[in-house]
Amino acid sequence: MNERTMIGKLFAKAGETVSISGWVHVRRDQGKLVFFDFRDRSGLVQGVVLPGSEAMEAAKTVRQEDVITVTGKVNKRPEKNVQLGKANGDIELEVTGLEILNSADTPPFSLDDTSTIDENLRAEYRYLDLRSPRMQKNIRLRSEFVRRCRAFLFDKDFVEIETPLLTESTPEGSRDFVVPSRLHPGKFYALPQSPQQYKQLLMTAGFERYFQLARAVRDEDLRADRGFEHTQLDLEMSFVTQEEVMQTIESMITTVVEEMGYTLKAKPFPRVSYADAMKQYGADKFDMRTAEEKAAGVLAYAWVVDFPMFEKDDEGKWTFTHNPFSMPKPEHLESLMKGENIEHILAAQYDLVCNGFETGGGSIRAHKPEILEATYHVMGYRQDEVEERIGHMLKAFRFGTPPHGGIALGIERNIMNLTGETYLREVQAFPMTRSGQTAVMKAPKPLTDKQLGELGLSVKPRNDA
């Protein structure tokens, strides 16, 4: 048998006999003739089975979405039948052989456009949903965006480093997902809300420029643009100013999205103070695009800076606005150290917004133990509580931790902007449903008695259930 030719390369093979493999996209049985559209990852091509062809018997039985290998001759289509604007619209395959590699049940919904199909049905058959052109485009675009970001960062001397998934609860501000320990019954790991502390420790360790495509897991209420799991392009740099971190990210995004053919509304990205954003837009994330720019898919990135470092929580106590590890702006360091003028302390914090979403956020960090301690004292922690919470960070900071800062970009929110999607689930391969049910598989589900026994756990009804 001939070697496999990708459908997208058939145009260069006119007159030759080739073999393709893929799926039956469409079958049109016209009695004497059977027409097909065949599909592989590179595109679509029309096939025709002529009367008397050896492939006719198979052609009569084959069904939509069957997996096939087809042998045939690549013919230029008569001028009048050329389908302009269609991939491979000017050639067709005269099918001489058709082998079914695996037959397919009838899909539960049309794979042309799945956007109106019930969410739970799409989730159950996510592997079919993902065959739809829109999902193929979104997931491939996500991969391309990530690939280009990686390439940019490697070129700038960054090192990609993975950090643990089973870890200690971090003070990131959301509820943790926890994992029971079999070796230490009654004790629990937490899944990372972000690699914040590990990436700072990598600065102590002397890597200077770190990044990772990190999974962040937060037990938050689900919304259109927020799931339990998301991916962050997480990054940290040593010996840098706020300006240098922002420049690195701005240059990466500009390079990557322009290479991908997108138009930016403004270069350099506008900078807006938190106070001005609240005055002008009533929020710290905003959409600067005109209606025409929205229609044209323009990307309107902007930086929001000068955030208050603290706000009052429900009990009237000071708490951090973004990240307890942030440094105050240099001119406000003295206030923090003295615990004065708390409401006026601004953080060296920067958020990246685009088209109405917060797509990233980061800060310069408090790299000296006494500064981080001061933050915790403002938040009302006694010294022993500070040690208990972040003693390991304070210890590390005493061993020559350089000044450092970083940022995390939300991959899904960035891809939502690139694709124009309004739901996070359209840019993740296997998202959860709105009710927190996994795609295809059926988590969460009960553990067996044996598993519970090994973990030393027993399940009791929840107070509010």
Q: Which of 22, 227, 362, 369 binds ligand ASP (CB under 6 A)?
A: 362
Interaction between residue 5 and ligand ASP (CB under 6 A): no
Residue number with the smallest Cβ distance to ligand ASP: 194
Closest to 130 measured CA to CA, from 410, 418, 425, 415: 425
Among 200, 363, 375, 428, binds ligand ASP (CB under 6 A): 363
Provide, rounded to whole angstroms, the least separation between the CB of residue 217 and ligand ASP: 11
Asked if 353 touches ligand ASP (CB under 6 A), the answer is: no
Which helix H or strand E contains 238, and what residues bound it?
strand 229-238
- The owner of tokens 């962040």 is 216
Residue type, 291: A
328 binds ligand ASP (CB under 6 A): no
Give whichever of 20 and 202 is closer to ligand ASP, judged by the CB atom. 202
Helix 369-378, helix 383-397: angle, nearest 10? 160
Which helix (H) or strand (E) is 397 found in, with range?
helix 383-397
Residue 410 is a binding residue for ligand ASP (CB under 6 A): no
Does 347 contact ligand ASP by CB under 6 A? no
Q: How many residues bind ligand ASP (CB under 6 A)?
A: 9
- The 387-406 site mask, x for binding ligand ASP (CB under 6 A), equals -------------------x
- 3-25: burial string, b at 16+ Cβ within 10 Å, e else: eebebeebbeeeeeebebbbbbb
Q: Nearest approach, Cβ of 210 to ligand ASP (angstroms)? A: 11
Name which of 57 and 162 has its Cβ closer to ligand ASP: 162
Of the pair 362, 369, the CB lying nearest ligand ASP is at: 362
Q: How far is the CB of 38 from ligand ASP (least distance, A)?
A: 45
CB 234, min distance to ligand ASP, A:
6
State yes or no: residue 46 binds ligand ASP (CB under 6 A).
no
Q: Are 69 and 20 in contact (CB under 8 A)?
A: yes
Q: Which is nearer to ligand ASP, 62 or 415 (CB)?
A: 415
Of residues 225-284, which lie at the interface with ligand ASP (CB under 6 A)? none
> How big is the CA angle at 200 (ends 163 and 218), to the nearest 5 degrees?
55
Q: CB burial class (10 A; 0-12, 13-18, 19+) of residue 368?
A: middle
Cα 318 to Cα 343: distance, rounded to the nearest angstrom: 9
Report which of 407, 424, 402, 406 is spatially closest to residue 415, judged by C-alpha positions.
Answer: 424
107-133: b (≥16 Cβ within 10 Å) or e = eebebeebeebeeeebbbbbebbbbbe
Nearer to ligand ASP, 366 or 407 (CB): 407
Q: Please give the Cα distance from 82 to 86 (Å, whole number).
A: 9
Residue 359 touches ligand ASP, criterion: CB under 6 A: no
Q: Which stretch binds ligand ASP (CB under 6 A): 12-20, 293-301, 309-317, 360-368?
A: 360-368
Task: Verify binding: residue 386, ligand ASP, rule CB under 6 A.
Answer: no
CB 238 within 8 A of CB 186: no
Burial 292-329 (b: 16+ CB within 10 A, else e): ebeeeebbbbbbbbbbbbbeeeeeeebbbbbbbbbbbb
Closest separation in Å from C-beta 348 to ligand ASP:
11
Would you give the binding string for ligand ASP spanning residues 186-205, x where CB under 6 A is met? --------x-x---------
Q: Give yes or no for residue 407 binding ligand ASP (CB under 6 A).
A: yes
Residues that bind ligand ASP (CB under 6 A): 194, 196, 323, 361-363, 406-408
